[in-house]
Amino acid sequence: MSWSVVFDERLEKWLNDIPADIKARIINITDLLIEHGPQNVREPYVKHIRGKLFEIRAKGKDGIARVFYFTMTGQRIVLLHGFIKKMQKTPKKEIDTAAARMNEILGV
């Protein structure tokens, strides 16, 4: 059984507003996750954040973006929240937003 991707609708809107090269990179890495399974894709493409939360790490000529995701039963990858990175460290507020969306979906 292959992996499928589910987008949080708030993330979809954000994706439409970011530079095309960064969006293309996010899509490419998402395709890697689907094709090879998230357990087989590692840095520099993705990174574990905490608990079930991971991030897609996309870099383009117009900047750096991160998209948080987690996996669910039924081989589903749920993309939760994205942001354009402006500093070295990922802001706690962005991680908290992604974690809150994950908990919403999980009904926690």
The domain locations on the chain are 4-106
The pLDDT score that the predictor gives to residue 33 is: 97
Tokens 């994205």 belong to: 82
CA distances from 49 to 26, 57, 61, 85, 96 (A): 17, 12, 24, 15, 11
Query: Consecutive 10-residue runs of the chain (108 residues): their mean pLDDT?
Result: 91 94 96 96 97 97 95 96 93 97 95
Burial of 37 (0-12, 13-18, 19+ CB in 10 A): middle
Q: What is the pLDDT of residue 56?
A: 98
**CATH class of the domain defined by 4-106:** alpha beta
Pairwise CA distance, residues 12 & 59, whole Å = 18
pLDDT of amino acid 106: 95
**Angle at the Cα of 84 (from 81 to 89), degrees rounded to 5?**
95
The reported pLDDT for the residue numbered 87 is 87
Beta pairing class for 4-7 and 76-85: parallel
Dist. CA 95–CA 28, nearest whole Å = 22
Angle, vertex CA 97, rays to CA 43 and CA 29, nearest 5: 30
